[in-house]
Structure 1
């Protein structure tokens, strides 16, 4: 058996290449975060990690992704894909699941450097992992979430076929905000004309689908 089968996994879209995180790519990702992810007055994340990057040099980011990698298990896993455009890291696209073999559900989350936003690359990242989950892993449902006021993220979700699935209150900066849960059934997925290319799944498919 391969000691780390995810190292073979690659997703390719018309403009992007997504691979599970590695140390060299994570150091590049830290620099993307330091350059800015969102407007300073906004906080699009449930955990306000972008408030801490400048102060700790990305130490917390690296520990978070190392922790996710080290805790990977067959029935409780998260893959943090480094998204690359024209050879450089532009952001992170996560897909995760618990008890996938029984539930057939995944959750997704992502972020991208501010200078790369606005050209549809974030949508392309999410479509890549949705097609991967639905078409290659056999998922039936994909879940996500966003702040009620995060119009860009919510527009993408609506365009792809997500529907609202409840909400919760949270206060990442000490102020109450509404966090909207989103659900996408495989049959409702609004697909583009292209299909993601997947390489190296054979080595890890049993881990991901058990």
Structure 2
């Protein structure tokens, strides 16, 4: 089985209504379809890299290639974990978690997006909470960072609700204009104080730990 060689593909994070998992090829096809349908109002740009400005077909292709690429480039010292979010049996978006030198820093960062038709139902908050459970409870993280382009009120509300504190501002060129990124940081203590009253279960994590830098990879 593929999980004998790359156990990350067997990782599952579940809440009562969501499952987060590394995407299968069928999951990637569904995720690409959602991206093609739209992720946000075209008049706005919530991402530092404006990948959603691509045509629907190119946007879908970029989703497939990006997700395949991050797993192909994975090392314990520099990794990115994209998890498709499944609600009521359908892929609705993606939740990323990434880190460099995690074994030393114990800090993760995150990113996410949902298809337009799946927004406004609390899924974004719940999937971030599930990811944070994996980071803090599953991997022993000390901190989780996040950033949001100023004006992306929904994403900022998710961070604040889950206990993140303001942690500075960055400035980037987005669509040829300066855009401020509001940065947030969540400590383990603040995570404990603001955890959602939603149970989260992890499965398939133990054999994955060396891939996160928490142990030795098999020789």
TM-score interval, normalised by the smaller of the two chains: over 0.9
Select 1:77's aligned residue among 76, 79, 93: 79
Match for residue 157 of structure 1?
Answer: 159
Q: For 1:52-201, what aligned pairs fall within 5 Å after superposition?
A: 52-56=54-58, 58-189=60-191, 190-201=194-205
Select 2:210's aligned residue among 194, 197, 206: 206
Gapped regions of structure 1 (runs ≥ 5): none
Preserved contact between residue 53 and residue 61 of structure 1 (Cα < 8 Å): no
What do the CA deviations read for 1:51-77 (whole angstroms, capped 9, x no partner)? 114252622222111111100111111
Instruction: Provide TM-score, normalisation by structure 2.
Output: 0.92
Preserved contact between residue 53 and residue 60 of structure 1 (Cα < 8 Å): no
Write the distance in 2 (CA, Å) between the matches of 1:56 and 1:141.
35
Preserved contact between residue 169 and residue 180 of structure 2 (Cα < 8 Å): yes
Gapped regions of structure 2 (runs ≥ 5): 215-219
Match for residue 217 of structure 2?
Answer: none
Match for residue 51 of structure 1?
Answer: 53
Select 2:31's aligned residue among 5, 29, 32: 29
Instruction: Provide TM-score, normalisation by structure 1.
Output: 0.96
Write the distance in 2 (CA, Å) between the matches of 1:116 and 1:54.
18
Count, aligned residues: 210
What do the CA deviations read for 1:27-58 (whole angstroms, capped 9, x no partner)? 11011111111011000011111111425262
Preserved contact between residue 8 and residue 208 of structure 2 (Cα < 8 Å): yes
